[in-house]
Amino acid sequence: MSHTTDIDRIEHFARQTVAQLPDPFRKAAAEVVLQVTDWPARDMLDEMEIDDPLELTGLYEGIPMTHKSVWDQPQGPDIVWLFAQPILHEWRERGNVTLQELVAHVTTHEFAHHFGWSDDDIASIDRWWE
């Protein structure tokens, strides 16, 4: 699999996932930029106090819908980042899920942050890690 193909496949699976969200969520998700890149930037890792870039498969950057105000001055669009190399590494390590399933999980998790859900909220309905 070539580098470009990895990113393209992951982006394709992520966009399929967003297209399958329930209607109100799909409409809200359409306002978010989906960005797929190989690795998280060093400043992202530093901000989250993560040493190993393989630990970060995705990241939501923005103001959750539940915290947005008409008074907010947007600094740019909200972004959901997916990191291809950490996703591929986790997929290979797990060996028990398809790449599409893993990308769907990471995509849903990051968009849930946009909708204002905490990690605990997400864990209460997504038993992925059990």
pTM for the model stands at 0.84
Task: Give mean pLDDT, residues 31-54.
Answer: 95
Rounded-to-integer distance, Cα 56 and Cα 45, Å: 8
Each residue's pLDDT tens digit, 56-101: 999 999 876 666 655 556 677 899 999 999 999 999 999 999 999 9
The token duo for 38 is: 């190989």
The token duo for 46 is: 């530093």
Asked if residues 39 and 86 have their Cβ atoms less than 8 Å apart, the reply is yes
Listed range (9-13, 21-25, 79-83) with the worst mean pLDDT? 21-25
Q: How do the domains of the chain map onto residue ranges?
A: 3-64+76-120
pLDDT at 127: 54
What pairs with residue 85 in β-bridges?
Answer: none
pLDDT at 1: 47
Rounded-to-integer distance, Cα 82 and Cα 106, Å: 8
Fold of 3-64+76-120: Zincin-like (3.30.2010)
Task: Give mean pLDDT, residues 103-109.
Answer: 92
Rounded-to-integer distance, Cα 92 and Cα 49, Å: 25
Asked if residues 126 and 108 have their Cβ atoms less than 8 Å apart, the reply is yes
What pairs with residue 58 in β-bridges?
Answer: 82
Q: Tell which wins on pLDDT, 117 or 79.
A: 79
